[in-house]
Amino acid sequence: MATLTINGNKVEFEPGTTVLQLAIDTGLEIPHYCYHQSMSAPANCRICLAEIWQPNPRNDGKLESLGKLVPTCSTPAADGMIVYTDSPKAIANQKSVMELLLINHPVDCPVCDQAGECHLQDYSYQYGRGQSRFQEDKNKQPKKDLGPNVLLYSDRCIMCTRCVRFTREVTGTAELMVEGRGSQNQIDVFPGLALDNELSANVIDLCPVGALLDKDFLFQQRVWFLKKTPSIDGITASGDNIYVEHNEGTIYRVKPRRNDEINQWWITDELRYGWKFVHAEDRYVMPSVLGEDPFEINQAREAWSIGMTETNRIASAAVEGGETFAVLVSPMLSCEDAYHLARWALRIDPGAIFGVGPVPVHGESKTFPGGYTICNEKAPNARGVRRVLTALCGSAPLEFDEFTSAVEGSVGCVLTTGNYPSSWVSDRFAAAVGSTPLVMIDTLPNQLSERASVILPSSTWLEKSGTFENVSGRLQSFNRAITPIDFCKNESQIALELIALLDGVSPAIFDPAKTRSEMASVSGLASLAEAEQPVETAALAESDLELVDF
Ligand code: SF4
Ligand code: FES
């Protein structure tokens, strides 16, 4: 295999890669700004330059210097190459580049959102000269509103052009351009255009400095306070990999997590900002029982106890009266939730009717020139819910319309689950439920709330662990990012407590890993044992094993 040496480290490689990419792949650091693996390499920032020696076949393979410093981001790796980014010449270049980039930079780190995750800060510390020799006045450049999600602070821009290339090569929308010349260079939108495409906010992550800012996150939190939990898209069926960034039980932002086979480096703005319902003011946070006064904060334990007892009583009474129990399992729930809910419902009524909640589909899926696809199915786990219910019940669950028809017929009790980002109940379904005894396990109010006998507040996907099956059948597990809001519980835990109540025993604590191995022993669910796990799983999984008890 071909080898080359970077700063004394011998590295093997397959031909077709560049020196910088090889360094990145092998964990060797070469500073870079303009280069991003997903796009073309313009080699314009010049900080990655290296002194390179290479065997010359026309001179008996003797090592010869390439003469001047060359950009590692656009130089193909070649067998026998010797690369120095720590030679005196290379270091002098790094210091010069940093000095040039900082000449007109306002150095306003104390008020910059990027502080703490800024490549200009980091490289200034690692490769800069530590002080400025610039005595003249700095150029002042304007702040610009580029579109619905993105602000540009032009005087922080280092003109790497990553953002411009993103709109040309990845989205194909080409809203951004470089305007002006020399030190007056600025990024701007073309006249009459806004940076307003479905992936627009990815430029914020791409920007190596604090020039492109997220309007939604602006001045919300210093990044060093944020904890990062790896998770999965819980809004659509894409299965996009994400990081959820949070502090003290509050979500502050969602960012893409690289997965070359699913979402590459990107997520949609829909997913990036679609988690807001987690902290919605009108969220259910306390159980409620029809006919009972609203429970106070100090009555949470009692509220859950009454709500659970009443749920089992209503459902059992219907079955004892010779009627059927109808259970609607939302495609927003995890496979684990579907499994425990179905186990509980089958205990109440072995002949229970199961349906899958509505699966919203918005137009067609759309693939961008860069290969990223926006999924038109706006629920994360319809396939997983169908898979689990089919395995447990021996036949496929009813789709929402069929389930509505079944409820229109005659059932003795309806249990609905939701967890959608907004109200999901259709007029037809509301009419079908009519005055049938109804239990809701949900997050947000809907038009059935007033008539529900019991409402149990459930946790969103960011407050629990579980597994989703995406649009291409890929099973991916995710970890809980924050503890459940107020007095909410995840659907798995609710089902486990309902089962324990039937058995007159103490409830088990929901253990996602144990549930997956339990499920895997059910015919048709063996693949759940092989669900892909998020990277940093161990420490976070621990947090799921606390019993939510008030
Ligand atoms: S705004 Fe950011 S990403 Fe765009 S050119 Fe400037 S530094 Fe690069
Ligand atoms: S990363 Fe090589 S020139 Fe910018």
Question: Do 118 and 218 fall within a single domain?
Answer: yes
Question: Do 211 and 348 fall within a single domain?
Answer: no
Residue 247 placed within a domain? no
pLDDT digits 0-9 by tens, 175-206: 999 999 888 889 999 999 999 999 999 999 99
Task: Look up residue 474 and give its amino acid.
Answer: R
For the chain, the domain total comes to 3
Calculate how far, in angstroms, residue 348's C-alpha sits from the geometric centre of ligand 2.
Answer: 65
**pLDDT in the model for residue 129:** 85
**At residue 499, does pLDDT exceed 60?**
yes
Dist CA 420 CA 330 (whole Å): 8
Question: Measuring CA to CA, how many Å separate 159 from each of 38, 170, 469, 518?
Answer: 18, 18, 41, 54
Instruction: Please state the φ and ψ torsions of residue 347, each to the nearest 5 degrees.
Output: -65, -40
- Which of these three, 50, 74, 95, is where a domain ends? 95
**At residue 549, does pLDDT exceed 70?**
no
**pLDDT in the model for residue 410:** 83
Percent of the chain with pLDDT over 90: 90
**At residue 545, does pLDDT exceed 70?**
no
Question: Do 50 and 118 fall within a single domain?
Answer: no
Question: Do 123 and 85 fall within a single domain?
Answer: no
Question: Do 91 and 123 fall within a single domain?
Answer: no
Residue 397: CB atoms within 10 A of its CB come to 25
Question: Do 56 and 128 fall within a single domain?
Answer: no
Residue 248 placed within a domain? no
CATH number, domain of 189, equals 3.30.70.20
Cβ–ligand 2 distance for 123 under 6 Å, the answer no
Calculate how far, in angstroms, residue 517's C-alpha sits from the geometric centre of ligand 1.
Answer: 47
**At residue 540, does pLDDT exceed 70?**
no
**pLDDT in the model for residue 535:** 64
CATH number, domain of 451, equals 3.40.50.740
In this predicted structure, which of 93-102, 122-131, 154-163, 391-400 has the lowest mean pLDDT?
122-131
Residue 150 placed within a domain? yes
Question: Do 215 and 353 fall within a single domain?
Answer: no
Task: Look up residue 13 and give its amino acid.
Answer: F
- Which of these three, 71, 95, 119, is where a domain ends? 95
Q: pTM value?
A: 0.93
Helix, strand or coil for residue 467?
A: strand
Number of the ligand 1 atom closest to the C-alpha atom of 209: 7
Best of 19, 29, 32 to mutate for ligand 2, by most ligand atoms within 8 A of CB? 32
- What is the mean pLDDT of the segment spanning 427-454? 96
Task: Look at phi and psi of residue 174 and say left if phi exceeds 0, alpha if psi is from -120 to 50, else beta.
Answer: left
Question: Do 177 and 314 fall within a single domain?
Answer: no
The upper half-sphere exposure of residue 354, i.e. CA atoms within 13 Å in the direction of its Cβ, equals 29
Best of 22, 29, 35 to mutate for ligand 2, by most ligand atoms within 8 A of CB? 35
Question: Do 82 and 114 fall within a single domain?
Answer: no
Which residues, other chains included, contact 5 with Cβ-Cβ below 8 Å and sequence gap of 6+? 11, 81, 82, 83
The upper half-sphere exposure of residue 444, i.e. CA atoms within 13 Å in the direction of its Cβ, equals 16
Percent of the chain with pLDDT over 70: 97
Question: Do 527 and 408 fall within a single domain?
Answer: yes
Calculate how far, in angstroms, residue 156's C-alpha sits from the geometric centre of ligand 1.
Answer: 8
3-state secondary structure labels for all residues of 274-315: CCHHHHCCCCCCCCEECCCCCCCHHHHHHHHHHHHHHHHHHH
Dist CA 82 CA 95 (whole Å): 22
- Which of these three, 95, 114, 141, is where a domain ends? 95
Residue 274 placed within a domain? no
Dist CA 549 CA 487 (whole Å): 9
> Which residues sit with their C-beta closer than 6 Å to ligand 1?
157-163, 187, 206-207, 209, 211-212
Question: Do 83 and 167 fall within a single domain?
Answer: no
Sign of the dihedral defined by the CA atoms of residues 500, 505, 507, 508, in that order: negative
Q: Tell me the average pLDDT of the chain.
A: 94
**At residue 409, does pLDDT exceed 90?**
no
Dist CA 202 CA 190 (whole Å): 19
Residue 76 placed within a domain? yes
pLDDT digits 0-9 by tens, 444-483: 999 999 999 999 999 999 999 999 999 999 999 999 999 9
**pLDDT in the model for residue 536:** 53
Residue 236 placed within a domain? no
For 172, the domain range is: 105-223
Residue 249 placed within a domain? no
CATH number, domain of 40, equals 3.10.20.740
pLDDT digits 0-9 by tens, 246-295: 999 999 999 999 999 999 999 999 999 999 999 999 999 999 999 989 99
Dist CA 432 CA 240 (whole Å): 35
- What is the mean pLDDT of the segment spanning 83-108? 95
Dist CA 55 CA 539 (whole Å): 49
Task: Look up residue 206 and give its amino acid.
Answer: L
Question: Do 90 and 109 fall within a single domain?
Answer: no
Which residues, other chains included, contact 124 with Cβ-Cβ below 8 Å and sequence gap of 6+? 98, 102
Question: Measuring CA to CA, how many Å separate 151 from each of 147, 203, 422?
Answer: 7, 10, 28
Best of 22, 29, 33 to mutate for ligand 2, by most ligand atoms within 8 A of CB? 33
**At residue 539, does pLDDT exceed 70?**
no
No. of H helices and E strands in the chain?
Answer: 14, 24
In this predicted structure, which of 58-67, 313-322, 382-391 has the lowest mean pLDDT?
58-67
Cβ–ligand 2 distance for 36 under 6 Å, the answer no
Nearest C-alpha neighbor of 488 from the set 461, 528, 513: 461
Residue 270 placed within a domain? no
pLDDT digits 0-9 by tens, 315-372: 999 999 999 999 999 999 999 999 999 999 999 999 999 999 999 999 999 999 999 9
Beta partners for residue 212, in sequence order: 152
